[in-house]
Amino acid sequence: MTSPALKKIPVDQVRLGMHLHELCGAWLDHPFWKTKFVLEDVADLKKLQQSGIRECWIDVSKGLDVAATFVDEPALVARRTGAASSALDVDTATDLARAAQIRPPAPVALEDEVHRAADLCNQARAAVISLFSEARMGRVVFSAECEELVHGISDSVMRNTTAMLSLARLKSHDDYTYMHSVAVAALMAALARQLQLEPDEIRMAAKAGLLHDMGKAVMPRDILNKPGKLTDEEFVVIRTHPERGHALLMAGEVADEAVLDVCLHHHEKTDGSGYPHRLPGDRISMFAKMGAVCDVYDAITSNRPYKQGWDPAESIARMAGWAKGHFDAAIFKAFVTSLGIYPTGSLVRLKSGLLAVVTRQNDAALTAPEVKVFFSTKQGLHVPPRLLDLSSPGCTDRIIVRESNEGWKFGHLDELWAGEEALRKIGRKR
């Protein structure tokens, strides 16, 4: 006998917030590896609508009903957050539910997003310079323009994960302090998206990334910009920047708990050896764990006065070696998935002997991205650049190893994936 909570409905009536109980139709047509879950991600809804499934069963005791009106949704929010209905303020629940209904922007191709992302990088750099200048005077005012910028960064990442992440990495060492904040904002948004957080939470993650290093604004310039290893005494000073930044945000107009927490705890480690409070993993929030991963990745992939940044793929490999005790395992795994095992811009060698730059990720096969081949190691010659989709059915080539450009010293790798115009916009090409 069918439970009264179960309803069979056409797929075109399915919407976010419904609990999928069972999909009707052939198993091969099923777009999900899991069953019986609340549909929360727009990408999953699109997969369902584009599959061969025409009908499904929903459980209205665990999610939204077809006929449910908006007033029913605060109860769903309460269930999803684990809060009792009586303990959740109706206005707050309604606001959360409304935020959860925000639809992310439609995906676009890299070539369509990269120029828009380049403009955003320039706007973000100016905004962070202004924020740091305010901080040096003892206050942080997060203006409406900054809020719009956060939305712009998170929306760019939701349209195309690659463009903003990869461009923000291409900072000069002179811009590191400012553009590091922009890069971490983009990385946080991408990781939040991979973790299937709501659109408003993705934007909160981007905001936390943008403000995570505000304490650096009040660090002594000679220490902050030192072109070499810090002394023990200098390191003691620099380790105060999370608490200094937290105090600045608290004194200013920033009241978001997640933002404050990431600022204060993005240098904590899951084994309890981090700073400033040596928190064990179970006392570090999800957002702070996200901040820790994103902060380290951008730091080690960036060029500094005393060190050339590591290749994206090399950085992922090295971080994997540090993961135990440093990063939360589930967060780090999601982070790698959000970037790809071979992140965009990585130099790789193919089985054929060709060298290529990774240009686009393949979510269905992380080891088979789209690449642009440009050099033959067998002939020792450049070849006409061409795109190659390693996941296509007719492709017999594959990546056999990541390469370091330290030995090759190719000067045009970024141009191969981003294009001249985008690099010109961010000041990397005249």
312-365 per-position pLDDT tens digit: 988 998 999 887 789 999 999 999 999 999 999 999 999 999 999 999 888 788
Query: How high is the mean pLDDT of the chain?
Result: 85
User: Can you tell me the mean pLDDT for 412-422?
Assistant: 91
Residue 132: pLDDT over 80: yes
Residue 253: pLDDT over 80: no
Which segments of the chain belong to CATH 1.10.3210.10?
110-339
Cβ 168 vs Cβ 423: under 8 Å = no
Per-residue confidence band for 96, with pLDDT thresholds at 50, 70 and 90: very low
Q: What percent of the chain has pLDDT over 70?
A: 88
User: Can you tell me the mean pLDDT for 100-109?
Assistant: 64
Residue 302: pLDDT over 50: yes
- For 184-187, the CB contacts below 8 A with 24+ separation are 184/209, 184/210, 184/212, 184/213, 184/291, 184/294, 184/295, 184/298, 185/124, 185/150, 185/153, 185/209, 185/210, 186/153, 186/156, 186/157, 187/294, 187/297, 187/298, 187/335
Cα separation, 286 vs 327, in Å, equals 11
Q: What is the pLDDT of residues 148-201, one digit of tens each?
A: 889 999 999 999 888 998 898 888 777 888 999 999 999 999 999 999 998 899
User: Can you tell me the mean pLDDT for 202-211?
Assistant: 96
pLDDT given for residue 205 in this prediction: 97
Q: What is the pLDDT of residues 256-296, one digit of tens each?
A: 999 999 999 999 999 999 999 999 999 999 999 999 999 99
Higher per-residue confidence, 32 vs 325: 325
pLDDT given for residue 306 in this prediction: 73
Region for 39 from its dihedrals, namely left if φ exceeds 0, alpha if ψ lies in -120 to 50, beta otherwise: beta
Q: Lowest-pLDDT range, 62-76, 77-91, 214-228?
A: 77-91
Superfamily of domain 110-339 in the CATH hierarchy? Hypothetical protein af1432 (1.10.3210.10)
pLDDT given for residue 66 in this prediction: 77
Cβ 243 vs Cβ 215: under 8 Å = yes
User: Can you tell me the mean pLDDT for 226-248?
Assistant: 94
pLDDT given for residue 67 in this prediction: 57
pLDDT given for residue 324 in this prediction: 79
Residue 71: pLDDT over 60: no
In degrees and rounded to multiples of 5, residue 11 shows phi and psi of: -60, -30
What stretches of 195-239 show up as alpha helix (H) in DSSP?
199-211, 221-224, 232-238
For 172, other C-beta atoms within 10 Å of its C-beta total 12
pLDDT given for residue 40 in this prediction: 79
Cβ 163 vs Cβ 110: under 8 Å = yes
User: Can you tell me the mean pLDDT for 396-419?
Assistant: 92
Region for 196 from its dihedrals, namely left if φ exceeds 0, alpha if ψ lies in -120 to 50, beta otherwise: left
Per-residue confidence band for 52, with pLDDT thresholds at 50, 70 and 90: confident
Residue 78: pLDDT over 50: no
